[in-house]
Structure formats: structure tokens, C-alpha cells
Amino acid sequence: MRLRVLLINPWIYDFAAYNLWAKPLGLLWVAEYMSAYDVDMFFIDCTDDFAIRNDGTGKFKRENVEKPEILKSIPRLYKRYGIGIDEFVKRIKSAMPFDIVLMTSTMSYWYPGVQKTVQIIRELAGNVPVILGGIYATLYYDHAIENSGADFIYTSNLDERINSVLRYVWVHIEEQRKIYSLLQTPSL
């Protein structure tokens, strides 16, 4: 059975954000790397909803959200930038079932977008393993372990080290499939 991989670029949570050709380059490199293997990949970019200008830049769609406690004293509106939650849920459901989620993290202070993304994945897909990489995960490894909700924090370059992580997760997935198969096999 082919591994089904969901790649996610999470939302931006900030006071202001503007798309100046922002693309999740590291995650796209992961997709390119994974394409050498026999896998099915699905990609959700939570920041792909913006009003595009002729030069390719544009304003992200945004929604006001509650500020984290540490930011409550700042007299500005705090927002989630990108697709709506309902659209994200719809995209997750259309990609299901998937075996693993590979997610990036850009700016370190955008971690609430990572948290919200993982929370929704858990609600919809249960214990599907989530591997988080990217700038936030690398610079604030301990914070990401404690606060992101991801199962594994990947801080290495994209090379054969990711294979050991995927092998570890794949063994877990295969064990779960065997258990599920045993439970689903009709008794004679």
C-alpha cells in the first residue's frame, strides 16, 4: 500500500501580513524529495487565498482572531491570514485518508498557526503522525516540542536523515494497519 502524505503550509497569525511572493520553499523541496518515492502526496497551503496583483503580490484574506495573552496590551487587531477554517476542513477531508502529515513553520512568532493547524488535524484525523519542520521548529525546538502539538520536530537539512524519521513513522503506520486488518477480518 502506498504511503499517503499530506503536506501543509499553516496560517499566518499576526497583526499584519502581505504576500510578497511568499511560498513555502522548504516544504516544496520536501515534496520534490518525496516524489522520488512511491507515495501519494496532497498539498494544502493555508496562505494561498489572497487578492493577487499584476506583479504576483497581494493582500491575504484575513479574519480577526483573539490575541494570545502576551499580546493583549497591543492596541491592534490580531488576525489569521489565509483560507478560512471551513475551507481548510474541506481540503483536509478531501485528502483523507492520509498516513502522515509533513508541515512547515515559517516565522517563529507565527506558531499559533501551527497550533491551530495541528489541532484541526487531530480533530479530523486522530493520531495521524505530524512531523513539523521549518524555521520555527529549528530555532525554537523546545518551544515547538512543548507547544506545537506535532509528534516529531525535524530540524535537520533535507537529506537522508528524513528517511530515518519516515521509516520510524512508517513502521508505526504499518503496525496500526496490521492491527486494523486483524480487527476487520471476519472470523470463520
Q: What is the pLDDT of residue 157?
A: 67
- Return d(Cα 58, Cα 19) in angstroms, integer: 5
Q: What is the pLDDT of residue 120?
A: 97
- Return d(Cα 64, Cα 34) in angstroms, integer: 36
* Three-state DSSP class for residue 143: helix
* Three-state DSSP class for residue 30: helix
Q: What is the pLDDT of residue 159?
A: 62
The residue ranges of every structural domain in the chain are 3-184
What is the chain's pLDDT, residue by residue, as a tens digit (188 residues)? Answer: 678 899 999 999 999 888 776 788 788 888 888 787 778 899 999 998 666 778 777 888 999 999 989 899 999 999 999 999 999 999 999 999 998 999 999 888 889 999 999 999 999 998 899 999 999 999 999 999 999 999 988 887 666 666 666 666 664 544 444 444 444 444 44
Complete DSSP assignment for 33-101 = HHTTSSEEEEEEETT--EEE-TTS-EEEPEEE-PPPGGGTTS-S--EEESS-HHHHHHHHHHH-S-SEE
CA 28-61-95 angle, 5° bins: 45
Cell of 91: 481540503
Report CA-CA distances (Å) from 37 to 31, 133, 134, 158, 164: 10, 20, 22, 15, 14
What's the half-sphere exposure (Cβ side, CA atoms, 13 Å) at 16? Answer: 4
Could you confirm whether domain 3-184 is CATH 3.40.50.280? yes
Q: What is the pLDDT of residue 158?
A: 65
Q: What is the pLDDT of residue 132?
A: 93
Q: What is the pLDDT of residue 50?
A: 67
Check if the beta carbon of residue 8 is closer than 8 Å to that of residue 44.
yes
CA 104-12-155 angle, 5° bins: 25
